[in-house]
Structure 1
């Protein structure tokens, strides 16, 4: 990675790290007050944080096409977040992140169908290698921990969240072409806050001071991560940036141990090595490389 071409990749890696740390704080909060309450409060705090910034930097009248994309991604992201945070309450942090890596693999082909992006051999190879690493990790986890009702619910939730996440990448790419990072962040949090508010009377649990603090920190990390990723996706193709998501496992392993003392097995280390290799291969893709499709 050299010159200006490396900046979107570095931004994407930074955004993933910020959001991985957010996941750790949100897991703690979701275990205490439930995934729905935690997700709603994060969206409310995030909106309160970024809305004044958007207004202060000259909020524009949002065109209809941009508004449609903001609403679409807001709805998708809302359900994606709720199912993901629910999965975090049933599965370890690192394994949850690992399973979610099916999303970048799906996104490569959605980018071809919906965005018209060419899929290169390096992009496919890097993503498949990273995905193979996740299979190694998940297989080790399920083999050692057994399979119970909580595991089943957690897997169902993270698989649904991953499919929504894959589509979210595509909408993010379109969204970043018509709106700046601050505007993207405003609607990302705002739409989710309004949508979850409709159901809040039925699920809301009053948080204690610790949980509220963790959710506030999560909101800051969410806004920072969303803005960083929006900047990156405005400057590089989705297939080039999506494999950077695999680096999230490294952060999830670290934060899982720091927050919850979740260990990492030798098999997980091997799987992580495959993931890092996949990221490296995809990042070195040359613009002149021949596309597969």
Structure 2
């Protein structure tokens, strides 16, 4: 029996928290700019910060053998950004985040199918508790609007679910490279390729930002790079299915950010859902059998 590694889990939770702050800023920026421009600026500034880290750590230039799988993975990353940024723009933040929390379920499924990981009983219980928590949150957010005769944004809901699926695939493919490639290389290639893929949409939707908005975009890019450095480090040292459960802690971060930054007081349903989500994360921290590291190449 191998003890669950606390280090990767703590770094993953920190990375999720950093990315949650980034999500709040993206929601803020979506009020005045199109999602294509936001995505372009997020990955453009993210690439600049990642390049600074790359040079500061004196990381060697990657070979084409390394570049190729990251180029493929960036297609999934760009799709995730597009879907999730759209859902943030058209849905309430709590609803968009709650739907994104289905990603650990897809992470466990993809990890089993592509990496040969076999989630233990504690992981399955954690996934179940977390998913029930998400359903409770969704009910507490959507049911009052439906009762009042409000419309449901089906396209936004579909985009949120799609982002959860593509994010899960991005995290599992990250697992396949995180133990092999330098972290600065992984994050630099992810930002550079995703920004390039999203550039045409960003150019079409471009509006001139103010200096304050440029600072917001830079902060979004810097937080994105910092968060993904944390995630890449963690996924290189622990099972994807086990770390995936910790994605549920983003809801706790969101509640804290909403309360401190916007004075939002969570409802009873929100608190109950958060309790189930945290309970799932705690169950996942129990001991589990060690799984051999697979030598798997994902992508062309």
TM-score by length of 2: 0.90
1:50 aligned partner:
50
Query: Are the equivalent residues in 2 in contact too, given 1:15–1:229 (CA < 8 A)?
Result: yes
Q: What are structure 1's unaligned runs of at least 5 residues?
A: none
Query: Are the equivalent residues in 2 in contact too, given 1:77–1:188 (CA < 8 A)?
Result: yes
Following the alignment from structure 1 to structure 2, what is the Cα–Cα distance between the partners of residues 169 and 115?
A: 12
Alpha-carbon distance, 1:288 to partner? 6.0
177, 185, 188: which one aligns with 1:186: 188
Alpha-carbon distance, 1:210 to partner? 2.8
Q: What are structure 2's unaligned runs of at least 5 residues?
A: 292-300
Please identify, of 87-96 and 26-35, the stretch whose mean Cα deviation from structure 2 is larger.
87-96
- Give the secondary structure class of the aligned counterpart of 2:5: helix
Cα distance change of structure 1 residues 256 and 153 upon mapping to structure 2, 3 Å threshold: farther
Deviations 1:20-72 (A, max 9, x none): 01101111012211211111101111111121321342332323342122112
Cα distance change of structure 1 residues 262 and 158 upon mapping to structure 2, 3 Å threshold: farther
Query: Are the equivalent residues in 1 in contact too, given 2:4–2:286 (CA < 8 A)?
Result: no
Query: Are the equivalent residues in 2 in contact too, given 1:93–1:256 (CA < 8 A)?
Result: no
2:32 aligned partner:
32
- Give the secondary structure class of the aligned counterpart of 2:60: coil
Following the alignment from structure 1 to structure 2, what is the Cα–Cα distance between the partners of residues 119 and 74?
A: 26
- Aligned CA-pair RMSD: 2.0
After superposition, residues 1-293 of structure 1 pair within 5 angstroms as 5-146=5-146, 151-287=153-289
TM-score by length of 1: 0.92
Cα distance change of structure 1 residues 206 and 100 upon mapping to structure 2, 3 Å threshold: same
Deviations 1:233-289 (A, max 9, x none): 111111111111100001112223444454421011001100000000011132269
